[in-house]
Structure 1
Amino acid sequence: MDDVSLIERGFEEFPATIALLDRRGDIVYTNRAWRAFADANDYAGDPDSTGVNYLDVCDAARETDEIAGVVADGIRAVLRGDRDLFTAEYPCHSPTVYRWFALRVVPIDTPRHGSFALVTHFDITDRRLAELQVNEKNEHLAALVSVLASELKAQLASATASAERLAAVDGDDAVQLSESLSRIDSLVDWGIAVAGQPSTLDLAPVDFRSHVAQARAVASPDGADDASLRVVGDGSLLADTHLFGLFLVAVLTNCYERNASLGLPSSVVVGTTADGFYVDDDGPLPSPEERAAVGAGSNQLLGVDYDVTHLSTARRIADLHGWQFDVVDSELGGARFEVRGVDWR
């Protein structure tokens, strides 16, 4: 078997549809998958399609199908040698079936026969349907969050106003109630921000120290001084700046709250490592609930462990970035929350 027949045999058995175009855009070869697709969809002409000008077909559809014009221009750029690769995704629905394909065009230069363009169509229907299903679920979840948040915010506003009036005439208990309601209000805003985040990250270099300082301002309890947190190391890491801030707020809030539950002052150290960073505290050792929250626990709903909401939220943000998030015993005597797999810049 010579090289030409071996290559043709490979194209013939390839599961995706393939068409080889000459420099004018005429189809000079199609494989078995192409012919089978034409037969299955009642193509009016020869299923082989040899001799049909691919570019003419795309040009004829320009006025009614924007992607057809984009594809024609992309193929021409490959045939002229202006591009080494052209790709596009497009719908190709039948009366009974929704379908999407990914188009890939690359040049092929031969010493004897000149230049060609190899056009391959990959069926991506399963992926697109899955994306549509996820988007629909996200829209429903966002609508639910909006409704619940509006109701909860209204109730919190009323309760906060009452607490402030009590604090003006009463003692420490009323002041503490007012502060707690204010904290709940900020957490609701934070939760809405997390729920509203798109699934696609906007990655950029972010300054580590400045984000830690901003997160501390949000997470630390009223009256905590700067001595309660120390930062070791600096640098810029590749992350979604908003989600990275939420991650730090979540972990620091957990540190402050776990110490406050025992009536202890919080001492926290945030530092960098070669491939990540850590948050250490001097509170109690990690609880079983905290250890479970950094993994995908069985008692989680929509990825959130409602026993330890801050840590489960942090874990989800770490997962989105492809980071490894763990909790171990700290050298300070409490818990050490470690992140690995960070891209430092």
Structure 2
Amino acid sequence: MGDRDRERRARDLRRYETILESLDDAVYAIRPDGTIVYVNERYAEMKGVDRDELLGTDIYDWVSEETAERARRERAAMREEGRDAGSIEYEFEPVDGEPFPAEMRFGPTELGDDGELGRVGVIRDVSERRRRERELERQNERLEEFASIVSHDLRNPLDVAQGRLELAREEVESPHLDAVARAHERMATLIDDLLTLAREGVDVESTEAVDLTAVTRECWRGVDTADATLNAAASLTVRADRSRLKQLLENLIRNAVEHGGEAVAVTVGDLDDGFYVADDGPGIPEGERDAIFEAGHTTDPNGTGFGLAIVERVAEAHGWTVSVAASDAGGARFEFTGVDVE
């Protein structure tokens, strides 16, 4: 290597080191025998020692035997599977202070002018991510508990009340009983919507290829659409949880019929990265569009106000973005983007 090449390499190394020193993550480089040849300031700060104390020592001297063994297993798996990078999660142990959860990613690299292969790694404090995961787990547990209470403590008395109503109808005829039946139906709808809303906050775990037009027609048959008409113009196949996609479409169809009238026309069509559901009803005033997805928001005295909230939850569970605008016919148009399209 000539002097000019050495100077260029030295400049490159200084530039890379400047970049590494600006990172919030800890970075290290070691030789094949595990000797530390470089750590950035963040690594020393996380470990709670001076950089000079780390250089020249064995990387495994600074971790527990359990962590060292986990890293060895991951390196063996990398060799066996032909991977260039590996990662483990473990408890990072400062010299003084409490251990905290960390993620380490590492892979081989060329060290020095002799072409010797060592390893570089990046360590990230994932305490905040773990905290959010635990909080999400607690929220899901509370939602499941709530769903159980709604399902048991509300549905069971309602079933008893509906049974008593049928017995009363056998003994007497009264228009008041029809009002009671309508109240029971509304309570049942509220309970169903509350259960759906509580359970739709969980992320979708598995998806399948779903023909959007076929599932739209299936949903149309499952909803009381009166004299409404459907234009299933979508040609897409999307990756989705089929059951939850049906909930989304059924709620949008029901919403269109309830607010657009019995003769409303509903269209489901393609977007570049998703799909839309539109109608030719009265539309949604621009000033109200931010509020329509709030649970309990409704302009229909007979509505529960949960339908569009369920739509938003289903979209979020898939990682989609939902927005509302005016349709070409002046009605409402719900657009779903970020959809995995086949």
Q: TM-score, normalised by structure 1?
A: 0.74
- Deviation of 1:107 after TM superposition, in Å, equals 1.5
What is the DSSP-based 3-state SS (H/G/I as helix, E as strand, rest coil) of the residue aligned with 2:121? Answer: strand
What one-letter code is carried by the residue in structure 1 that aligns with 2:72?
A
The alignment partner of 1:83 has SS state of coil
Does the CA contact (< 8 Å) of 1:163 and 1:175 recur in 2? Answer: no
Identify the residue that residue 203 of structure 2 maps to in structure 1: 200
Tell me the equivalent position of 1:134: 136
Name the structure 2 match of 1:326.
324
> Matched residue pairs, number?
321
Alignment partners' CA distance in 1, 2:93 and 2:150: 38
- Partner-residue secondary structure (3-state), 1:219: coil
Relative contact order (alpha carbons < 8 A, sep ≥ 6): 1 or 2 greater? 2
* Alpha-carbon separation, structure 2, partners of 1:107 and 1:203: 35
Letter in 1 for 2:28: A
How far residue 268 of structure 1 moved from its aligned partner, in angstroms, is 3.6
Match of 2:297 in 1: 306
Is it true that 1:155 corresponds to 2:146 in the alignment?
A: no
Q: For the Cα contact (< 8 Å) 2:282–2:331, is it kept in 1?
A: yes
- 80 and 248 in structure 1: CA distance in 2 versus 1, 3 angstrom threshold: closer
State the AA in 1 paired with 2:33.
R
SS at match of 1:163: helix
2:214 is aligned with 1:216:
no
- Give the Cα–Cα distance (whole angstroms) in 1 for the partners of residues 19 and 285 of structure 2: 58
| Structure 1 residues 228-278: Cα deviation after superposition (integer angstroms, max 9, x where no partner) | 44433343112332331221122122123225xxxx534342321233433
What is the Cα deviation at residue 48 of structure 1? Answer: 0.9
Q: What residue is the counterpart of 2:87 in the other structure?
A: 87
What secondary structure does 1:286 align onto? coil
Counterpart contact for 1:293–1:312, Cα < 8 Å = no
The answer as to whether partners of 1:61 and 1:68 remain within 8 angstroms in 2 is yes
Q: How far apart in 1 are the matches of 2:21 and 2:280?
A: 66
Shift of 1:12: 5.2
Contact 1:290 1:311 survives alignment (8 Å): no
Unpaired segments ≥5 residues, structure 2: 1-6, 299-304
The CA deviation string for residues 194-248 of structure 1, in whole angstroms up to 9 with x for no partner, is 4224643234322213322343344326xx47x7444333431123323312211
Quote the residue 1:232 is aligned against: 233
In 1, the alpha carbon distance for the partners of 2:181 and 2:25 equals 64
CA–CA separation in structure 2 for the residues paired with 1:184 and 1:288: 31
Distance between the aligned counterparts of 1:23 and 1:190, measured in 2? 60
Q: Classify 1:81/1:243 alpha carbon distance in 2 versus 1 (closer, same or farther; 3 Å).
A: closer
Deviates more, 1:120-129 or 1:80-89: 80-89
| 1:207/1:235 contact within 8 Å kept | yes
- 1:106 and 1:33 map into 2 onto residues whose CA distance is 19
Cα distance in 1, alignment partners of residues 233 and 175 from structure 2: 36
Matched, 1:35 2:20: no
The equivalent of 1:191 in structure 2 is: 194
Letter of the 1:158 partner, please give it.
V
The CA distance in 2 between the partners of 1:255 and 1:14, in whole Å, is 51
Q: Does 1:71 align with 2:71?
A: yes
1:52 is matched with: 58
Equivalent in the alignment of 2:301: none
How many percent of aligned residue pairs carry the same amino acid? 22
Q: In 2, are the aligned partners of 1:26 and 1:53 still within 8 Å (CA)?
A: yes
Is the contact made by 2:197 and 2:313 (CA closer than 8 Å) also made in structure 1? no
What amino acid is aligned across from residue 56 of structure 2 in structure 1?
Answer: T
Q: Residue 118 of structure 1 aligns to a residue in which SS?
A: strand
Aligned equivalent of 2:302: none
1:294 deviates by 4.2
Return the alpha-carbon distance in structure 1 between the equivalents of residues 210 and 109 of structure 2.
43
